[in-house]
Structure 1
Amino acid sequence: MRGSLITPRRLAIVGVSVLAFVLCLGLAWWQWERFESATGSWQNLGYVLQWPLFGLFPAFLFWRLRRLRRQHDAEPAPRPEPKPSAPAPVAGPPDEDDDELAAYNRYLAALNARDQQERRR
């Protein structure tokens, strides 16, 4: 394992996670009081269930990042791929026997020439 178990960065992440959880529990309590009031609705009850999940998300994210870091550290270094000895064959020019393809290529060449002229201006 690299470094110390307790670092300022980890303490800050844990502190933010705990603060988020406490804040979200307070918001859940507030929504519960709204649900029990005369103007409360089922939407408030839904928020009561959602806020604790929102509060747990930073802790889950911290856990997931640590798990991915450990997994990344445990993987061996990738081996360089061998280079091919001969270059891959390059496709030759298209067949000019096809009249439709030749006409399309002439059209594209004309568009390119016109575009080049407009850029020079």
Structure 2
Amino acid sequence: MRGGLITPRRLAIVGVSVLSLVVCLGLAWWQWQRYESASGTWQNLGYVLQWPLFGLFPAFLFWRMRTLRQQHAGAPPAEPERGVGPPPRPVARQDDDVDPVLAEYNRYLAQLNARDQETR
């Protein structure tokens, strides 16, 4: 995405995100009123905490799609915040010699692939 360009699509996404947040904050306020009433329960308080998260979800989704699109396009991604999560761990590859069942399954798949290539 080109930075600084205002498009109808972006305006629509921002509008939906803001509308979602406003509606969900209204629902959280309504649940708070229910919690404070004589018939209020802890479930109402739980909804008070959940509704704002539901309202923020479209904004998070838009941010996530934008980040993935930048990564896919080869653009440098936005700088992540430090200390937010654990560093990525390298994926350990399992050697076929360690697991004989996996080695047998891989040989079977190789045979099926070879047969499929012969018929084409």
TM-score band, normalised by shorter chain: 0.5 to 0.7
Name the CA shift for 1:46/1:3 in 2 (closer, same or farther; >3 Å).
Answer: closer
Distance 1:89 1:39 in 2: 69
- Which structure would you say has the larger Rg? 1
Partner of 2:68: 68
* Secondary structure in structure 2 of the residue aligned to 1:51: helix
Identity %: 77
Unaligned runs of 5+ in 1: 76-87, 92-121
How far has the Cα of 1:90 moved from its partner? 3.9
How far has the Cα of 1:5 moved from its partner? 1.7
- Structure 1's consecutive aligned runs of 4 or more residues displaced over 3 angstroms after TM superposition are 1-4, 88-91
User: Does the alignment pair 1:59 with 2:25?
Assistant: no
User: Does the alignment pair 1:6 with 2:22?
Assistant: no
Unaligned runs of 5+ in 2: 76-112
Name the CA shift for 1:44/1:2 in 2 (closer, same or farther; >3 Å).
Answer: same
- TM-score, with structure 1 as normaliser: 0.60
Distance 2:20 2:114 in 1: 58
- TM-score, with structure 2 as normaliser: 0.60
Q: What is the aligned-residue RMSD (CA, Å)?
A: 2.1
